[in-house]
Amino acid sequence: MITIKSEREIELLRKAGHIVYQTHQYLKPFIREGISTKELDRLGEAFIRKQGATPSFKGYQGFPNALCISVNDEVVHGIPSDYKLKNGDVVSIDIGACYQGYHGDSAWSYPVGSVNPQVEALLRDTEASLYEGLKAIREGAHIGDIGEAVETYAIAHHLGVVKELVGHGVGTTVHEDPDVPNFGKKGTGPRLRKGMVIAVEPMLTIGSPDIYEDMDNGWTILTDDGSTSAHFEHTVVVTEDGCEILTGE
């Protein structure tokens, strides 16, 4: 069921989203060679709790940590570990925070030190594809408009679109209806209404978009061909003539 949020609810979603944004800003200076992904998780969780929120993903369907931290060919759902970031890595940090019962959800991919030009382009173009998707949002538009915008941009920039994983509605649960795919056809899918809150989250790859699940931990999704992937996500509320980013500044 797709829900339309009230002004009061949107205010709480704004607060939750802002905490997620602040957590990303707080973590940025720590993202450098030598830090373990477990340490980033610890820092992120402490920061979220200090803001009076709880990490949305901790315990979600049994997820063991506060943040999903995925490195290089890990697309999403990376489990923080003793792995220490290396120069040239890409680290995707997905953060969810729950404030007074309402969630915010935003992922961002960061370069560690200096990355090669191909990876630099992946990061730039995946971020840009997110904003292309957001530009398609307004009251009366369709979910398919977002997917078509993201996919068209990704294809034009020679990147693979992961199709098995999609964006989603956000509210009193971190994942709710509707699905928001990163592919589709303009004019198809549910209509966007003012007050709908959704997370748009392109996951793009340098190589093939095919993925597999790490059977050892039952969580982490990786690219089949080992190519690097990137993930950029904002939670937004649909407005009359566009959208308001809730996980931004």
Q: Are 70 and 92 in contact (CB under 8 A)?
A: yes
30: which 2 tokens?
Answer: 């720590």
Q: How far is the CB of 112 from Mg ion (least distance, A)?
A: 20
Is the Cβ of residue 145 or residue 233 nearer to Mg ion in the bound state? Answer: 233
Q: How far is the CB of 67 from Mg ion (least distance, A)?
A: 10
| Number of Cβ atoms within 10 Å of the Cβ of 145 | 23
Is the Cβ of residue 97 or residue 122 nearer to Mg ion in the bound state? Answer: 97
Q: How far is the CB of 165 from Mg ion (least distance, A)?
A: 9
99, 54, 34, 108: CA torsion to nearest 10: -40
Is the Cβ of residue 10 or residue 69 nearer to Mg ion in the bound state? Answer: 69
Q: How far is the CB of 199 from Mg ion (least distance, A)?
A: 4
Is the Cβ of residue 66 or residue 88 nearer to Mg ion in the bound state? Answer: 66
d(CA 74, CA 63): 16
Nearest 5°: CA angle at 13, between 12 and 19?
A: 95
What is the contact surface with Mg ion in residues (CB under 5 A)? 94, 105, 107, 199, 233
Residue 88 identity: G
